Structures are given as structure tokens and as C-alpha cells.
Structure 1
């Protein structure tokens, strides 16, 4: 079984576009958890164009009503992000190498270059009891280093997988991701995955049992325009089970 964490950034973007609290992100989180989702993810960027730092605090309060459910906060570990995360103390923090002006995440950490900057950050988060995940490209050779710098998990960046789905190179790409996932497991890490996963492609990635958790937001929100929010969340849970 692979756990589903629903990323609510696009709900925040829709809310913020009108300057009102509608749709209400916390209500959507409550609805999603009530349907059986394992967790909620947000990725508050410095401009707070979708999920906000206040959302992080409000979601933490909500999660107290759902024993066993988890809050995952993603982002680049600048001073403000770290201050919020250390205050909120989510179950999981996924560190992503985003530029402040980046439209969306598009690459994993280069640990040969970034390890010295990441080590104290990871140590600080883990001292608060927060599980630490590093957003990584599907490079099997990098997984041991992710463990060595102190990460508990990696999240495989899956845009390449999603782009290959249905194409001639899909089987080769799937093997690359499965190889990277196995290397992470062999290193003592747990494996998450996310980015451009959808109802069509998520099952093939997860069916071999190496992926513990997927974080899905953009596709899920888009699919809900056709199917309805509740139906889409239930459909993901069926595929991941």
C-alpha cells in the first residue's frame, strides 16, 4: 500500500486569486482527510501565492482531529521557511531546492554541492522530531549520500516518469525509477514520490511496493474538475491500495 498525501497548493491559489477565503483550504483538507487520505501537503513559497505560512499553522491544528494523519510541508529551507516549520512541527518536512522565483519544482538536490548547507538544517529539523525528506532526481548513486547527510526519506522527482508514460521509453524510465527507489531502500531510506503523477500513471510506479507515499496536487485538482473532488480522492486511494 502507498499512502496518499494531497497537495492543496492549487486550492490556495484559487482562494488567493479573489482575495477571499473561498474556497477554504482548511475545509478542503478536512474533507480530504475524511475521505481517507493519509495526509495533507503544502508547499508555501516566499510570495505565498498559493499555500501560506498561516495555512501551515491552521493545518497543524486541524490534523490534531485526525489521529494518524500527517502534515507534510515542502519548501526551500531559507530562514523564514525554517522558522515556520520549526514552529508548526509538521510530521514531515520535504526540502526542495527551489529558486524563490521558480514556477514549480523541476530538479532534485545536488548533494555533492549542497550537503554542507543541508546537514545543519536536517539536524535542526530532526531535533524537533520532524521527519526529513530530500527531493531527489532518480539517480541511484545519490541515495547513499542522502542517508549520510541525515535524511530519513527521499522524494523521487517524477516529472521524467510522467513524461515517459505511454511512450516508447517508458519501460526504461520505470526501471530507472525502480532502481533508484531500491537503492534508497538499500541505504536505509524510505521512498516518497511526487510531481506530475496522476490517475493514469500512479499505479505503475507504486505497484511493486517500493513507494511509501505519493504527494499529488495539480493533477488531482484538475481531474476533480471532471470527476468531482470526492470521486478523485477515492479513485487515487483505490489505485494505491
Structure 2
């Protein structure tokens, strides 16, 4: 079964909109795990507009399953990850002013930088993953960085699937097979939802984990958090 990691950035955004501690991020996290999710994802940004650095520190003893921290490996993020020591760190090359992640790594151009950062995280017992576009050459070049996994950037798939173009998944399936054959695990994320997750996961039998936040939290407004998580888990069953 592909594991579901719930990105809780939007819960932090809602809390920050009014100040105070409503909704309670830590209690929300406990409930997400109680409802069956196999992981928690956070993506702190330097301006702390949703998840704050302190949130990551506070969440570490709360998360009983997999804790995944995403972010651009600037010095402050690296220091935070080494302090928190989550089970997994996902490296994302997003600009500070980006609303959301919008591109994967050029694994050839940034090979030396990624290799250095990944080596430091792995020496501290942290599994690494790099956010990457569905591109065969970038998958091949990712191996040299020493990363444990790649996370396929799925926005293009989601856009095409919405238009009825199911063949858009083919390049993802090819990249997944290649990554697996090269010894890397495969994760995926960005714009995956209840509408497209089942088909996507069916076409990628080696898919280990999906990270879903915006869609899941939005869908929870209609179905409730527990029901939404259960819907995802049912769709991800093999």
C-alpha cells in the first residue's frame, strides 16, 4: 500500500490568520494519525507564513509515525532539520517568494550541492528525498547525489488528468520504474486529490508515499477530516 503523508501547512495557515492557537496544530496532528494517516508533512518557509520553525520542534515528540520535513536547503532549514531529525527530509528548490512549490531540481546542474547536503543529512540518520520533475535524465542524474528517494512533482499530471488526458501519467510511470531500478524509492506530491489519486497510484506500482495537503484539507471541509483520510486510504489500497 502507498503510504499517505498529510501536509498540515494549511492548518497552520488557518491558525495564523487569527493568531492564537485555533486550530490547535498539535491536536490536529494527533487526530490525523489517529484517523489512519501514515505520516505528517510540514514545509516551513523562511517567512514562516504557515508552518513556523518552532512548530517543527514542537511536532517532533508528537508525531508517532513518519515525520517528513520539506524545504529549500538554505542554512536555516538545514540547521532546523539537524535539530529536529525527522524520519525524512524532502529537498525542494522553491524560491522564498513562491506561493507553493513550482519546479523540481536540475539534478545535473545542482549535483555537487545536493550531494553535499544529502550526505550531511544521511550521516545524521535522516532519509533523504529530492523533489524532481518527471524527466528521465533528471532521474538518472539523481542517483549520483546519493538520495534515498525522489518525489515526483505531479502538478502537470493533475492538470492533464482534469482535462481527460490520462496518458499524462505515462511519463511518471516510466520515471518511477527507472528510479526503482536504480535503487531509489519513489514518492509523489502536488495537486493530487480524491479525483486523481487512485488512477495515479494504480499506474505506479512502486509508489511508496504521497504527500497531500491543500486538496485533502479542502476536501475535509465537505467530508470531515476522518472521512477524507479514510477515503484516501481506501483509494491507495492495492
State the TM-score, normalized to the length of structure 2.
Answer: 0.97
Query: Structure 1's 78 and 211: CA in aligned 2 closer, same or farther, altered over 3 A?
Result: same
Show the counterpart of 1:174.
Answer: 169
Matches within 5 A, 1:185-224: 185-208=180-203, 209-224=205-220
| Alpha carbons 1:133, 1:151 under 8 Å: kept | yes
Match among 227, 234, 238 for residue 238 of structure 1? 234
| CA–CA separation in structure 2 for the residues paired with 1:168 and 1:91 | 37
Show the counterpart of 1:44.
Answer: 44
| CA–CA separation in structure 2 for the residues paired with 1:85 and 1:141 | 29
Show the counterpart of 1:29.
Answer: 29
Deviation, 1:72, is 0.0
CA RMSD of aligned residues (A): 0.9
Q: Deviations over 1:23-63 (max 9, x none)?
A: 01111110000111100000000011111111111111112
Show the counterpart of 2:118.
Answer: 122
- The number of residues matched between the two structures is 236
Q: Secondary structure of 2:55's partner?
A: helix
Question: Does 2:83 align with 1:82?
Answer: no
| Alpha carbons 2:111, 2:144 under 8 Å: kept | no
| CA–CA separation in structure 2 for the residues paired with 1:141 and 1:37 | 33
Deviation, 1:168, is 4.5
| CA–CA separation in structure 2 for the residues paired with 1:166 and 1:44 | 29
| Alpha carbons 1:140, 1:181 under 8 Å: kept | no
Task: Note the residue ranges of structure 2 that are not aligned, 5 or more in a row.
Answer: none
| CA–CA separation in structure 2 for the residues paired with 1:75 and 1:124 | 15
Show the counterpart of 2:144.
Answer: 148
Task: Note the residue ranges of structure 1 that are not aligned, 5 or more in a row.
Answer: none
| CA–CA separation in structure 2 for the residues paired with 1:167 and 1:181 | 23
| Alpha carbons 1:154, 1:189 under 8 Å: kept | yes
Match among 65, 69, 72 for residue 68 of structure 2? 72
